[in-house]
């Protein structure tokens, strides 16, 4: 593992309460987390525990009820091109083609310094990377859920962001595409040295990709239950890891947390 010492994202004493018809609902409480530059952090926890809520706060799409969030020594006061988000529900513009959805992001970040031909080349390259060249001229309504998710991933990667915020980006994909894109993501992150915060439900995915796995307790008032450092050398090979006792140990630690110590999620939220 590389030495990760520089604080990049700092989350201090964050609480998020929502106003609902039944009164105030405390989704997150006492969240403290520091992410180093170039670090890959996975957020894992049961459905409804507040993973998307936390990611939205880092994205600057919402503001916390209490506490502060800092990125690169500046208070996170809103969204910015240095923090690209891949949303859980892909959120593409339905009247634009796949190409146009990505081009819009590329244009926003690079149009001041690059020609139209360069912007187009960037868009083509990133669409090709996620295997969508043939679908470039289709609109979101004409492609599958997994393909929509890939457009969202392409859009985020195209911005070459310092921070990538991914909300279950591979959730809708079949196992083979998922594995291919996980490997692509590792390659890109290695090349760009991006800092990544990724929400996932998938234990194997979390262990394969992360430097640390942040495990959240069940809500209401969810918080960070435990943080597991994943000290596996990189580059990581999924086939070799499948037999590594160290890998299996990490996997078991996360499964224990989720299904033994944070079990009965339905009963709690019923």
Ligand X SMILES: Nc1ncnc2c1ncn2[C@@H]1O[C@H](COP(=O)(O)OP(=O)(O)OP(=O)(O)O)[C@@H](O)[C@H]1O
For Mg ion, the binding residues (CB under 5 A) are 52, 88
Report the residue number, 48 or 131, with the smaller CB distance to ligand X: 48
Q: How far is the CB of 215 from ligand X (least distance, A)?
A: 12
Q: How far is the CB of 52 from Mg ion (least distance, A)?
A: 3
Task: Please state, in angstroms and as integers, the Cα–Cα distance from residue 112 to each residue in 19, 32, 196, following that order.
Answer: 41, 37, 26
Phi and psi, residue 224, nearest 5° = -80, 120
∠ at Cα 97 (169, 116), nearest 5°?
100
Contact set with ligand X (CB under 6 A): 18, 20, 25, 27, 45, 47-53, 88, 219
Q: Which does 48 bind (CB under 5 to 8 A by kind): ligand X, Mg ion, none?
A: ligand X
Lookup: tokens for 24: 């105030």
139 burial type by CB count under 10 A (0-12 exposed, 13-18 middle, 19+ buried): middle
| Residue nearest Mg ion, Cβ-based | 52
Q: How far is the CB of 154 from Mg ion (least distance, A)?
A: 21
Q: How far is the CB of 240 from Mg ion (least distance, A)?
A: 31
Please state, in angstroms and rounded to a whole number, the distance separating the CA atoms of residues 120 and 103. Answer: 7
Report the residue number, 18 or 259, with the smaller CB distance to ligand X: 18
Q: Which does 219 bind (CB under 5 to 8 A by kind): Mg ion, ligand X, none?
A: ligand X
Q: Which does 60 bind (CB under 5 to 8 A by kind): ligand X, Mg ion, none?
A: none
The closest alpha carbon to 54, from 88, 8, 19, belongs to 88
Please state, in angstroms and rounded to a whole number, the distance separating the CA atoms of residues 146 and 91. Answer: 13
Report the residue number, 102 or 198, with the smaller CB distance to Mg ion: 198
Report the residue number, 53 or 101, with the smaller CB distance to ligand X: 53
Please state, in angstroms and rounded to a whole number, the distance separating the CA atoms of residues 120 and 100. Answer: 10
Length, in residues, of the chain: 270
44 forms bridges with which residues in the sheet? 200, 215
Report the residue number, 119 or 196, with the smaller CB distance to ligand X: 196
Q: How far is the CB of 219 from ligand X (least distance, A)?
A: 5
């Amino acid at each position: 593992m590389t030495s990760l010492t520089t604080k990049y994202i700092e989350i201090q004493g964050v609480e998020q309460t929502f106003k609902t018809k039944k009164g105030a609902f405390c989704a997150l409480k006492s969240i403290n987390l520091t992410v180093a530059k170039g670090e890959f952090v996975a957020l894992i926890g049961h459905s409804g525990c507040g993973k998307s809520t936390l990611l939205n706060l880092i994205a600057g799409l919402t503001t916390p009820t209490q506490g502060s969030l800092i990125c690169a020594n500046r208070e996170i006061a809103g969204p910015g091109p240095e923090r690209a988000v891949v949303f859980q529900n892909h959120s593409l513009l339905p009247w634009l083609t796949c190409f146009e959805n990505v081009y819009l992001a590329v244009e926003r970040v690079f149009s001041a310094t690059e020609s139209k031909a360069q912007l187009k080349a960037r868009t083509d390259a990133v669409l090709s990377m996620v295997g969508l060249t043939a679908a470039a001229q289709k609109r979101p309504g004409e492609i599958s859920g997994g393909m929509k998710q890939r457009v969202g991933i392409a859009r985020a990667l195209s911005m070459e962001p310092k921070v990538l915020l991914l909300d279950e980006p591979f959730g809708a994909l079949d196992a083979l595409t998922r594995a291919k894109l996980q490997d692509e993501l590792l390659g890109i992150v290695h090349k760009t040295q991006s800092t990544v915060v990724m929400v996932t439900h998938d234990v194997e995915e979390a262990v394969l990709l992360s430097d640390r796995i942040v495990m959240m307790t069940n809500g209401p008032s969810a918080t960070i239950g435990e943080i597991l450092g994943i000290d596996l050398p990189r580059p990581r090979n999924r086939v070799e890891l499948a037999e590594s006792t160290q890998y299996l140990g990490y996997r078991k630690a996360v499964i224990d947390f989720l299904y033994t110590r944070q079990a009965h999620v339905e009963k709690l939220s019923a």
